[in-house]
Amino acid sequence: MTGTRLPLDGAHWIDHVARHAFATPDDVAIRFMGESITWAQLDERIHQVAAGLAARGVNKGDRVAILMTNRPEFVETTLGANAIGAIAVPLNFRLAPDEVAFILGHSGSKVVVTDALLAPLATAAVAASADAPLIVVSGLEGDGGDSANGGGADTISYDALLGDRADEPEVEIDERDVSMIMYTSGTTGRPKGAMLTHLNLLMQSVTAIRTSRLQGDNVVSLCNVPLFHIAGIGGMPSSLMIGARTVIMPTGLFDAESTLDIVESEQITTLFLVPAQWQVLCAHPDATRRCASLRTIAWGAAPASVSLLEDMARVFPHCEIISVFGQTEMSPVTTSLPGVDAVRKIGSVGKVIPTIVARVVDDEMNDVKPGEVGEIVYRGPTLMAGYWNDPEATAEAYAGGWFHSGDLVRADEEGFLYVVDRKKDMIISGGENIYCAEVENVLAGHPGVADVAVIGIPHDKWGETPAAVVVAADPSSPPTLDDLVEYSRDRLASYKKPTALAVLDELPRNASGKVLKHELRARHAKGELPTS
For a pLDDT cut of 70, what percent of the chain falls above it?
A: 92
CB 101 within 8 A of CB 125: yes
Burial state string for 269-287 with b = 16 or more CB within 10 A and e = fewer than 16: bbbbbbbbbbbebbebeeb
- The pLDDT of residue 402 is 97
What does residue 245 show for φ and ψ, rounded to 5 degrees?
-80, 135
Cα separations in angstroms, 336 against 270, 281, 340, 368:
15, 22, 12, 21
* Interatomic CA distance for residues 129 and 122, integer angstroms: 10
Say yes or no to pLDDT of 516 above 80.
yes
> Is cis: bond before 90, omega within 30 of 0?
no
Q: What is the pTM of this model?
A: 0.83
Instruction: Kindly indicate the confidence band of residue 38, based on its pLDDT and cuts at 50, 70 and 90.
Output: very high
Instruction: Kindly indicate the confidence band of residue 2, based on its pLDDT and cuts at 50, 70 and 90.
Output: very low
105's enclosing H/E stretch is helix 97-107
* Interatomic CA distance for residues 223 and 262, integer angstroms: 11
Q: Chain-centre distance of CA 470, in angstroms?
A: 24
**Taking all residues of the chain, what is their mean pLDDT, rounded to a whole number?**
89
**Each residue's pLDDT tens digit, 482-506:** 999 999 988 888 889 999 999 999 9
**Each residue's pLDDT tens digit, 207-226:** 889 888 887 678 999 999 89
**Each residue's pLDDT tens digit, 460-490:** 777 888 999 999 999 999 999 999 999 998 8
